[in-house]
Structure 1
Amino acid sequence: MSKKTLKVTLVRSPIGTRESHRATVLGLGLKKINQIRELEDTPAVRGMINKVSYLVRVE
């Protein structure tokens, strides 16, 4: 049984955003612009992506 994954890319800098949004980006494992992470498709991850949707791109 294969797990569903999402490719998340940081496309904008979190500098100047709310502290909670910066923490969410770090929680997703993103530190540098254009860094890509493959994350498991769970409701928690979806919520984090939704919160910082203006900073990331999802494939």
Structure 2
Amino acid sequence: MATLKITQIKGVVGAKKNQKDSLRSLGLKRIGDVVEKEDRPEFLGMIQAVSHLVEVEEVN
């Protein structure tokens, strides 16, 4: 199964509550934080909600 490398590139000031919650659930706390998550529908939904705040790369 593929792994996604998620990097937060923008801050959450002014973001909606659901976007802040999605970032926190992904494990991102501040700009520059990087996490690796499995390519699963739960994570893809959270990423879609904050797509303007994060950068996603696929890692094999």
Normalising by structure 2, we get a TM-score of 0.90
> Which of 25, 28, 39 in structure 1 is aligned with 2:26?
28
Are 2:41 and 1:17 equivalent residues in the alignment?
no
Deviation at 1:13, TM superposition (A): 0.2
Question: Structure 1: where are the runs of 5+ without partners?
Answer: none
Identity %: 40
> Which of 25, 48, 57 in structure 1 is aligned with 2:55?
57
How many residues are matched?
A: 57
Normalising by structure 1, we get a TM-score of 0.91
Residues in 1 aligned to 2:18 and 2:40: alpha-carbon distance in whole angstroms: 20
Residues in 1 aligned to 2:15 and 2:29: alpha-carbon distance in whole angstroms: 14
3-state DSSP class of the match of 1:48?
helix
- The ranges of structure 1 where at least 4 consecutive aligned residues each deviate by more than 3 angstroms after the TM superposition are none
Question: Structure 2: where are the runs of 5+ without partners?
Answer: none
Q: Whose strand proportion is higher, 1 or 2?
A: 2
